[in-house]
Chains A and B, each alone.
Chain A
Amino acid sequence: MKKIEAVIKPFKLDDVKEALNEIGIQGMTVSEVKGYGRQKGHKEIYRGAEYVVDFVPKVKIEIALRSDRVEEAVKAIREAAKTDNIGDGKIFVSPLEKVVRVRTGELDEDAL
């Protein structure tokens, strides 16, 4: 099992959600996050005063899924989240040790 974390531009959330739904992935956790990568923060000026936006608002989605589905999920996210500009985001994939469904106590792939 793997866990995918994707940090994307906020306005791309619907597109990514749809793309994942299309390949049959429905469960995900979405959070509003802030951060920066190569994009850095940016600076806005108003009447001479600076308003530094150190962190850029992003959306993070997290999905747990079977290892054999990772490739297509990553591809779907990437295609949907792409604007070809800086700050499009990143996708992280990591191994997942254990999953438990709270209600039933089912384990691992049954719980996905």
Chain B
Amino acid sequence: MRTKILAHELNEKKEMLSKVFLAKGDETFQKKLSDLYDEYFMKSFEYISDISNRLNTPFALVALGGYGRQEQAPHSDIDILFLFENKPEDEADSIIKEILYPLWDYKFSIGHSTRTISECIKEAKSEVFNLTAMLDARFVCGFSPLYLKFAEKFRNYLSQSPKKFTEEIICAAEKRHNEYGNSEYLLEPDIKNGMGGLRDYHTIRWIGKIHFDLQELKDFQYHGYLSETEYPEFIDTLGFITRVRNHLHFLTKRKCDKLHFDHQLQIAARLGFTEKDGKTPVENFLGDLHTRMNFLKEFALMIENETGRPKKLGIKRIYKKITGIEGLEIKNSLIGFKDSEKVIKDPSLLIKIFKESGFKKVPINLESKRLVYDLGYLVDDNFRKNQENISSFEKIMTIPYMENHPLDSMLNTGMISHLIPEFAEITDRIQYNDYHIYPVARHSIRAVQYVQKLISDKAGLKNSDLYSSIYSEIRPKRVFLWAVFLHDIGKGQEGEDHSISGAEIVKDILERFDMKKEHIETVSFLIENHLYLVKTATRRDIFDEETITACAMKIKSAMRLKMLFLLTLADSIATGPKAWSEWNESLITSLFLKTLKVLEKGNLSAPNAIRHLEKKTFEISKVLKGLTPDAEAIVAKMPPSYIFELSNSDILLHAKLYTELVKSDHPFVMEVEKNKDSGLRRVFFCAKDRPGFFSSAAGAFTVNNMDILDARAFGWKNSIALSIFTVTAPLDTVYESRVWDKTRNDLEKTLKNEFDLKSAVTTRKKSVLNNNDVFNAKDYVKIDNDSSSFYSIVEVHTKDYPGLLFDLTNVLFRFGIDIKSAKIATKVLQVVDVFYVSSIEGTKLSYEKGEIVRSEILRELSEIKEENYEKN
């Protein structure tokens, strides 16, 4: 093929050009590369003139897309259009082959099309992508009158409905942003398609073509979209991102526009970034890139707004917005300072402008942003102590939308770092791990934004109503929001656990704002523990009561728990999709709800409960240490609810019984505490836990003619059952110990199945049932599955009779239900017995089982009445 030599030549020249670029950089690289391609097409066109002459239709070669703009990145496609006057014959194929095959052989990637003028217009109609490619069309070689005819037809087509085309282009851009991540601050940005990437520049260039037939970039300034100072910044920005893209293509040896971590290191080095302000070259590089992508994004957004963003946003612009704040004004849908003198007199405008911009949804003009940047030194300790300024910032944190959030512009203009100098440490700080997709400062802002998103039903989260109901209970909200905003403030410190260092740093920050001490403590606590719920939910068994109790004891207050929960969610979502899934969400939400229940309803919900508990635990250990070397181990086995409910002396007595039990070969040990004055006895048991023990013990008292007035059952964590029965003293107090021996004996025999306790109880019952009141008693049994996270609660209201406790617990025993704890209370003859129970598998009772148990208890109670009735 004749053109092969040309392709070879092109390839060599391209390599030379690349070498020069890599060696010393070349601002005009892309233009030069595009010129090389032009040269190839022109020469090859001449080479094949003999074939073209045989064609009966003239044609032209037209460059499209990036090639049309003369912005040719090293590995981008060469977009070329073969434009024919009439539908070409088969001969045309050989022309295309002659021109393109050699390029393919040299591995150039080509996008080519063969069309007539009317086909071009048809394609442009069908697909916005084709329309924009043609907006960049440029004549390369061939029959130029044909190209001019095309250009004229295309312009006519555009002039039919410029507004519609603009809208289509903007829609495409929005769609692209959604696809590539709606932020210019990603840790691994796509520098072409991402927000603030080169495509955004192409987009406004196309809009410029449609609206004012843009010929060169200077036209943006000429048409008033850029000021004299902004234009060079724009050119500089394009140059920088283009340079990055060239390097990226060379580095990856392919068309790659996503800037991965490993490329960033090398590109930062190639672009000459160094270590500065305690940040690594790559951090400085990415910070610089983010600033520029932000500039491009804002500029593109401004042009899109001016030229016709589609309806949904357009409606709002009908109402002219005004500001009531002295020193600010809204012009051309942008907010700004009236003049710089006013700002110097009243520095609070530096923060008011962001608040007003956020609440009125009007972006700040570029000049005012620059002014904020220049006048940032006005923010001093007086400014920070001024409660109005602080409250302005706190209001800003509640602004609910994500895009163009004032916090982002506050960060860009350095305002946040002026307000909170410590924040500078985490600005542009990269997080090298698999989870984070934003640098620390942006992540912090995102987390604040996600709080608002979490609680709005628009976000489509399954539990958003739960989250918003929790948020509505949080007081004070500003304290919570500070914790969210500053949760990663410790990440600027090297080598330390950032939760711990952050908890310290935040104290300085908030003291400077004159925040109340108790609030500062709350924020500090939340920051120190902001990973605690995630860790607990994923690394501990949340179906274990012990986990939940430990969590409750650590967090101590329901309010803090609620704050920590929402902070955890916002932090996780803001981190990125890898840190957040429905799977995580359900684990953390379960942990939260279970812990909250303990803090709100359990023993730990009383004021100072936790301090009280810690004190008791300490005292018990102290005494116990004097008695047994195993003191620590024994105390560790006691669940908090047990320590909480019993007096120290009762617990110590149990501990003493436990040491005896370990040594003995009996299934239980028992001790009677006598109270001579009251005629009551308290009987302590410590037993190896086995189903039915509690019930049997109750029965043993009944057959020995003692009435049970109160009974409590507890379990230790090592399957040891503890109980305390308060019973009437034996009738024969002189030979009392004989009665106790018999009781102990009866119980032991029952456990060995050597004694029929049930019939003995029935006999005893029959001998005493004669109280007429029993007839009128209204029995009531309630199964509560909601109040406790781990147990079903069986509540029985009835009239007392000897053997009642045995009957009730015996029903539970028959159904294989485990009694975790019991509270028996008798008032005259009215009894309220409450049992915390679970199935043998350790779960709550199902609804069906609960109902069966309920009716069985009621049946048992009514049988007793019938017996009594018959007897009477």
Which B718-775 residues sit within 8 Å CB-CB of chain A?
Answer: none
A32-B581, A85-B544 known; A11 vs B539 contact (CB < 8 Å): yes
* Contact assessment for A51 and B466 in the assembled complex, using a CB-CB cutoff below 8 Å: yes
- Point out the residue from A11, A33, A38, A45 that lies within 8 Å of B541, measured CB to CB: A11
* Contact assessment for B593 and A46 in the assembled complex, using a CB-CB cutoff below 8 Å: yes
A51-B589, A51-B593 known; A85 vs B541 contact (CB < 8 Å): yes
Interface size for chain A: under 10, 10 to 19, 20 to 34, or 35 or more residues? Answer: 20 to 34
* Contact assessment for B587 and A10 in the assembled complex, using a CB-CB cutoff below 8 Å: yes
- Point out the residue from B469, B581, B589, B846 that lies within 8 Å of A47, measured CB to CB: B469
Q: Tell me whether B841 is interfacial, beta carbon within 8 Å.
A: yes
- Point out the residue from B544, B590, B842 that lies within 8 Å of A53, measured CB to CB: B590
- Point out the residue from B540, B581, B594 that lies within 8 Å of A11, measured CB to CB: B540
A32-B583, A47-B469, A49-B466 known; A83 vs B541 contact (CB < 8 Å): yes
Chain B residues, CB < 8 A from A49: 465-466, 469
* Contact assessment for A11 and B538 in the assembled complex, using a CB-CB cutoff below 8 Å: yes
Shortest distance between the CB of A54 and any CB in chain B (Å): 10
Which B839-859 residues sit within 8 Å CB-CB of chain A?
Answer: 841-843, 846
Shortest distance between the CB of A8 and any CB in chain B (Å): 11
Q: Tell me whether B463 is interfacial, beta carbon within 8 Å.
A: yes
Chain A residues, CB < 8 A from B596: 46
Chain B residues, CB < 8 A from A45: 593, 786
* Contact assessment for A44 and B581 in the assembled complex, using a CB-CB cutoff below 8 Å: no
* Contact assessment for B843 and A86 in the assembled complex, using a CB-CB cutoff below 8 Å: yes
Shortest distance between the CB of A45 and any CB in chain B (Å): 5
In angstroms, Cα B593 to Cα A51, docked, is 10
In angstroms, Cα B540 to Cα A14, docked, is 11
A39-B843, A49-B466 known; A57 vs B583 contact (CB < 8 Å): yes
In angstroms, Cα B634 to Cα A67, docked, is 45
Q: Chain A 6-35, CB within 8 Å of chain B: the 1/0 string?
A: 000111001000000000000000001110
Shortest distance between the CB of A56 and any CB in chain B (Å): 8
- Point out the residue from A33, A43, A85 that lies within 8 Å of B543, measured CB to CB: A85
Chain B residues, CB < 8 A from A51: 463, 466, 589, 593
In angstroms, Cα B470 to Cα A65, docked, is 48
Greatest chain B CB density within 10 A among A14, A42, A57, A83 is at: A57
In angstroms, Cα B558 to Cα A47, docked, is 14
Chain A residues, CB < 8 A from B386: none
Chain A residues, CB < 8 A from B544: 83, 85
Q: Chain B 563-588, CB within 8 Å of chain A: the 1/0 string?
A: 00000000000000000010110110
Closest A residue to B463 using CB positions? A51
In angstroms, Cα B594 to Cα A92, docked, is 31
Which B533-558 residues sit within 8 Å CB-CB of chain A?
Answer: 538-541, 543-544
Shortest distance between the CB of B136 and any CB in chain A (Å): 42
In angstroms, Cα B330 to Cα A5, docked, is 64
Shortest distance between the CB of B592 and any CB in chain A (Å): 9
Chain B residues, CB < 8 A from A33: 583
Chain B residues, CB < 8 A from A43: 785
In angstroms, Cα B846 to Cα A94, docked, is 33
Chain A residues, CB < 8 A from B586: 34, 53, 55, 57
- Point out the residue from A14, A32, A38 that lies within 8 Å of B841, measured CB to CB: A38
* Contact assessment for A44 and B843 in the assembled complex, using a CB-CB cutoff below 8 Å: no
Chain B residues, CB < 8 A from A14: 539
In angstroms, Cα B785 to Cα A83, docked, is 24
Chain A residues, CB < 8 A from B843: 39, 86
In angstroms, Cα B843 to Cα A87, docked, is 10
A9-B541, A34-B583 known; A86 vs B842 contact (CB < 8 Å): yes
In angstroms, Cα B842 to Cα A99, docked, is 41
In angstroms, Cα B789 to Cα A10, docked, is 19
- Point out the residue from B465, B469, B470, B538 that lies within 8 Å of A10, measured CB to CB: B538
Closest A residue to B843 using CB positions? A86
Closest B residue to A84 using CB positions? B842
* Contact assessment for A44 and B587 in the assembled complex, using a CB-CB cutoff below 8 Å: no
Closest A residue to B582 using CB positions? A34
Shortest distance between the CB of B599 and any CB in chain A (Å): 13
Which B461-477 residues sit within 8 Å CB-CB of chain A?
Answer: 463, 465-466, 469-470
A11-B541, A32-B583 known; A86 vs B841 contact (CB < 8 Å): yes
* Contact assessment for B842 and A85 in the assembled complex, using a CB-CB cutoff below 8 Å: yes
In angstroms, Cα B537 to Cα A53, docked, is 15
A34-B583, A86-B841, A86-B842 known; A44 vs B541 contact (CB < 8 Å): no
Chain A residues, CB < 8 A from B785: 43
Chain A residues, CB < 8 A from B789: 44
Shortest distance between the CB of B208 and any CB in chain A (Å): 48
In angstroms, Cα B466 to Cα A38, docked, is 27
Chain A residues, CB < 8 A from B786: 45
Chain B residues, CB < 8 A from A46: 466, 469-470, 593, 596
Which B253-285 residues sit within 8 Å CB-CB of chain A?
Answer: none
Q: Chain B 140-155, CB within 8 Å of chain A: the 1/0 string?
A: 0000000000000000
In angstroms, Cα B795 to Cα A4, docked, is 46
Shortest distance between the CB of B546 and any CB in chain A (Å): 11
In angstroms, Cα B463 to Cα A86, docked, is 26
In angstroms, Cα B587 to Cα A53, docked, is 10
Greatest chain B CB density within 10 A among A9, A11, A49, A55 is at: A11
Which A55-92 residues sit within 8 Å CB-CB of chain B?
Answer: 55, 57, 83, 85-87
Which B816-841 residues sit within 8 Å CB-CB of chain A?
Answer: 841
In angstroms, Cα B589 to Cα A72, docked, is 36
In angstroms, Cα B840 to Cα A38, docked, is 13
A38-B841, A51-B466, A57-B586 known; A44 vs B538 contact (CB < 8 Å): no
In angstroms, Cα B333 to Cα A6, docked, is 60
Chain A residues, CB < 8 A from B470: 46
In angstroms, Cα B541 to Cα A9, docked, is 8
Chain A residues, CB < 8 A from B539: 11, 14
Shortest distance between the CB of B845 and any CB in chain A (Å): 12
In angstroms, Cα B792 to Cα A43, docked, is 13
Chain B residues, CB < 8 A from A47: 469
Shortest distance between the CB of B693 and any CB in chain A (Å): 20
Which B439-469 residues sit within 8 Å CB-CB of chain A?
Answer: 463, 465-466, 469
* Contact assessment for A44 and B593 in the assembled complex, using a CB-CB cutoff below 8 Å: yes
Shortest distance between the CB of A58 and any CB in chain B (Å): 9
Chain A residues, CB < 8 A from B583: 32-34, 57
Closest A residue to B585 using CB positions? A57
Closest A residue to B789 using CB positions? A44
Shortest distance between the CB of A44 and any CB in chain B (Å): 4
Shortest distance between the CB of B368 and any CB in chain A (Å): 45
Chain B residues, CB < 8 A from A86: 841-843
Shortest distance between the CB of B41 and any CB in chain A (Å): 42
Chain B residues, CB < 8 A from A87: 543
Which B779-802 residues sit within 8 Å CB-CB of chain A?
Answer: 785-786, 789
In angstroms, Cα B589 to Cα A66, docked, is 40
In angstroms, Cα B596 to Cα A53, docked, is 17
Chain B residues, CB < 8 A from A85: 541, 543-544, 841-842
Shortest distance between the CB of A86 and any CB in chain B (Å): 4
Shortest distance between the CB of A73 and any CB in chain B (Å): 23
In angstroms, Cα B466 to Cα A47, docked, is 9
Closest B residue to A14 using CB positions? B539
Which B203-257 residues sit within 8 Å CB-CB of chain A?
Answer: none
Shortest distance between the CB of B493 and any CB in chain A (Å): 28
Chain B residues, CB < 8 A from A9: 541
In angstroms, Cα B535 to Cα A14, docked, is 13
Q: List 10 A-B contacts (CB under 8 A).
A: A10-B538, A34-B583, A47-B469, A49-B465, A51-B463, A51-B466, A53-B586, A53-B590, A57-B587, A83-B544
Q: Which 9 A-B pairs have the closest CB atoms?
A: A44-B593, A86-B841, A32-B583, A11-B539, A45-B786, A57-B583, A57-B587, A85-B842, A11-B540
Additional A-B contacts beyond A10-B538, A83-B541 (13; CB < 8 A): A34-B583, A40-B846, A42-B590, A43-B785, A44-B590, A46-B469, A46-B470, A46-B593, A49-B466, A53-B590, A57-B586, A83-B544, A86-B842
